Structure 1
Amino acid sequence: MKRPEKGEMITKLTDKFRDADAIYLTEYRGLSVPQISDLREKLGTDTTYNVAKNTLARIAAKEAGIEGLDDMLKGPSAITFVKGDYVEAAKVLRDFAKDNKQLIVKGGFADGTVYDAEGVNTLADLESRPVLLSKMAGALKGTMAKAAYAFVALPTKAVRTVDALREKHEKAA
């Protein structure tokens, strides 16, 4: 690859690093073209799976302000650039690696944190964002219902106590 082509490639990779919500690094040695195509399809349209030269990827990551990926950019590397639900992408990579032993997840980067391979597997074990949000909403709804009941119950109890005292005074008089 000539220098102008390298410069173009670095610019494209830098943009991808900046635009991605998460980045996962894998070793793809031994995967066939149909297997890689299958992986790309499973990752979805918002995620790209690119093979890149490690040196160019290191430079692009640094230009994008991402540090800590150098140790993972060794050997044949493919970069997964995720837009959107990066937990789901981690699940796809983990499951694909279980079925295709040639794919090795090296690590990744999401929310300003560098993850090793085990960290990516931990991300894959999380529930997706919509599920977590719905659980949180359900918990808040239950808490709000209890609070509303408490706010209604206290004045009602006070009114009943005052009524009971009034009746007691009326009977005593």
Structure 2
Amino acid sequence: MDRTQKKEWVGTLHETLGDASLVVVTHYTGLTVAEMTDLRGKMRAAGASFKVTKNRLTKLALEGTAYSSIADLFNGPTAIAFSKDPVAAAKVAAEYAKANEKLKILGGSLGDKRLDVDGIKALATLPSLDELRGRLIGMLNTPATRIAGVLQAPAGQLARVLSAKAEKDAA
């Protein structure tokens, strides 16, 4: 990589991190290409990204972002998981790290709040933004369904009474 490519890479990563809500820093020593591809696919499916980084260049890209506090985590073979959803990257990284001990979570940052490994794992247990939206819509729809049922019940009872009266008169 020549100097202009490095500047371009740092600029691109700086913009990407500026748009992200969450950054998770990991060590990936021993992961095979197939495992990395599988992890990237799971991240992409959850709306997150996983990128192997060059430590010195990543530290430059972190400057001026909310994530500058995690620069000391970039030692050794590091990769970052990041997402706009504040839970997606943590959830996928924690699940994958649980299944494959070669991926180690070092820490991360949620905006300007630095998180340790336990913080990332706790964040991973929270429901995602899409799940929360689904729950909210479900809660909003439930009262409407109940109201419709309550309103229809008297009309149904009245119809049954009228039907019974009509049958009685016919007999």
Alignment of 1:20-169 (within 5 A): 20-44=20-44, 46-83=47-84, 85-133=85-133
**8 Å CA contact retained: 2:66, 2:111:** no
**8 Å CA contact retained: 2:22, 2:87:** no
The DSSP-based 3-state class of the residue aligned with 2:109 is strand
TM-superposed deviation, 1:67: 2.0
Q: TM-score, normalised by structure 2?
A: 0.72
Cα-to-partner distance string for 1:97-148 (whole Å, 9 max, x where unaligned): 1111000011112233111111100101112234445656777999xxxxxx
**8 Å CA contact retained: 1:15, 1:64:** no
TM-superposed deviation, 1:24: 1.1
Matching residue of 1:148:
none
The DSSP-based 3-state class of the residue aligned with 2:68 is coil
**8 Å CA contact retained: 2:22, 2:89:** no
Aligned equivalents of 1:68, 1:120: Cα separation in 2? 15
Number of aligned residue pairs = 145
The DSSP-based 3-state class of the residue aligned with 1:105 is strand
TM-superposed deviation, 1:10: 0.8
Q: Which runs of 5+ in 1 are unaligned?
A: 143-173
TM-superposed deviation, 1:81: 2.2
Alignment of 1:2-17 (within 5 A): 2-17=2-17
Matching residue of 2:146:
none
Q: TM-score, normalised by structure 1?
A: 0.72
Larger Rg: 1
Q: Which runs of 5+ in 2 are unaligned?
A: 143-171
Question: Pairwise CA RMSD of aligned residues?
Answer: 2.6
